[in-house]
Structure 1
Amino acid sequence: MLLTAYRTPLRPPLCHDLRMRSRAGTAARTLVRGLRLVFAVTAVAAIASIPMGADVAAGFSYVNFFSYFTIQSNVLAVGVLLAGAVWDPTSDRWQLVRGAVTTYLVITAVVYAVLLSDIDVMLDDRWSNSILHQVIPLVLVLDWLLVPPRRPIGLVRAPTWLVYPLVYASYSLIRGAWIGWYPYPFLDPWDKGYPRLMLDLVVLGAVMAVLAFGVAAIGDLSGRLRRRDTDDVRDVRPLGP
């Protein structure tokens, strides 16, 4: 009875604290989903503004337009942001998709900053250029950090995210040899030859692998810190194959 007397006054504050945490969590999720929708619409506007402002009579090609990695990766980002805003999936498979698309946007930002910032890649509009190469990549990274996967991705799964860039490079080289047009200078073999091109692609692939591992690692670290702060002791095994 003595223990009961001491414990009883602690229950109402504890329940109140749990209710406050629940309300704060709901408000935070609502805010995140709203921001996802805003940035998805922003990305769509940036993508659509390019062909709308292009001179079709001067030879603008929609096939070439959608052959840019920047455009493809941002289209994927729009899909992830919209899905997160409307449905907010939490399955393990969806976390892998989020991690993959986040990696592609990081690749877009890094490759642009290092190799393409002073080169004409059909993005003359500064607003669209900034949105697609800087803002949306940053948004995807922040979304990955603030809403990390509940279970660790693990470094074993990260290399699977590189399948799409490999397919993209193969598509660009095959199509480029066929029509005589390459979306990016570093994919064009005519000036430097195929041996140098292959070497450059190996180096670029290694950089992409580091970026993929980095995205997986920061997602796992953020998830670990989040679970520690919330005392979440659910299954934290790495995602299975």
Structure 2
Amino acid sequence: MTDVARAPVHTHPVYRLLRLVFGALGLLALVWIPLHTENLDWFNYFGYFTVLSNVLAVIVLLAGAAADPLDRGWQMFRGAVTVYMVITGIVYAILLASIDVGMQGQWTNNLVHRVLPLVLILDWVVNPPRMRISDTQAVTWVWFPVVYGVYTLVRGPVVDWYPYPFIDPRTQGYLNMAIGLVVLVIAFVLICVAVNAAGRLGRRWRYGEDTHETPGDGVERKVEE
């Protein structure tokens, strides 16, 4: 078996332009919402998982458009943010679509809950990471939603405010809420694995090969039997 050095494949300029467009739209939405909200509480605004995940998505899109990083650390970050946006889209569709989530306009609501989650997962599949990411590594992406949930439950009683009904013990009790959150965490772990699998399939589709990264040298190589 021989290893043949393979240079990193940069993202096509058309895809980088699309990243720029959708990143700019995401940034516009994140600015539009507070500008059109009376008596805005900034701590509550950034207390929404939707807002936090979209801030990260804008960073990923704009950085991907401008610099197109290819290193493992960036691809791990990109995969994590893709997971958070997929979570945002799925949770909204299943649990929140019928309630007012304060997005100040249908276009912003559709953008942050539907369009950008779809953009992130499509970009992940069409422009997948060149190196392998194991499922064990992918599962670590769940840390952010877990930390967010703990922070929300600690802050909630202090300010008497919870961003979402499913994480509000006042209306359902702590037991029911805890059961629901455990189910959500399990679902989030499965989403991590699914997003990683989608990237793996995208890599095989785009490059027509399996790849690995030799530890320590940072060089992408093609494995040939």
TM-score after normalising by structure 1? 0.82
8 Å CA contact 2:103, 2:109 repeated in 1: yes
Aligned partner of 1:235 in structure 2 is 212
Alpha-carbon distance between aligned partners in 1 of 2:194 and 2:210, rounded to the nearest angstrom: 25
Question: After the TM superposition, which residues 35-54 of structure 1 pair with which residues of structure 2 at under 5 Å, given as runs?
Answer: 35-54=18-37
- CA-atom RMSD, angstroms? 1.9
Counterpart check, 1:204 vs 2:187:
no
Counterpart check, 1:225 vs 2:208:
no
Alpha-carbon distance between aligned partners in 2 of 1:89 and 1:95, rounded to the nearest angstrom: 8
Give 1 or 2: higher helix fraction.
1
Alpha-carbon distance between aligned partners in 2 of 1:197 and 1:234, rounded to the nearest angstrom: 43
Question: How many residues are matched?
Answer: 208
Counterpart check, 1:110 vs 2:93:
no
Query: What's the secondary structure of 2:136's corresponding residue?
Result: coil
Alpha-carbon distance between aligned partners in 2 of 1:154 and 1:225, rounded to the nearest angstrom: 18
Alpha-carbon distance between aligned partners in 1 of 2:199 and 2:132, rounded to the nearest angstrom: 8
Specify the structure having the higher radius of gyration (Cα): 1
Give 1 or 2: higher strand fraction.
2
Contiguous gaps of at least 5 residues in structure 2: 1-8, 216-225
Runs of 4+ aligned residues of structure 1 deviating over 2 Å after TM superposition are 232-238
Q: Deviation digits for residues 31-64 of structure 1, max 9, x if unmatched?
A: 11111111110001111111111112xxx21110
Contiguous gaps of at least 5 residues in structure 1: 1-24
Counterpart check, 1:161 vs 2:144:
no
Alpha-carbon distance between aligned partners in 2 of 1:119 and 1:136, rounded to the nearest angstrom: 20
Aligned-residue sequence identity (percent) comes to: 45
TM-score after normalising by structure 2? 0.88
Deviation at 1:171, TM superposition (A): 0.6
Aligned partner of 2:16 in structure 1 is 33
Distance 1:214 1:233, change over 3 A: closer
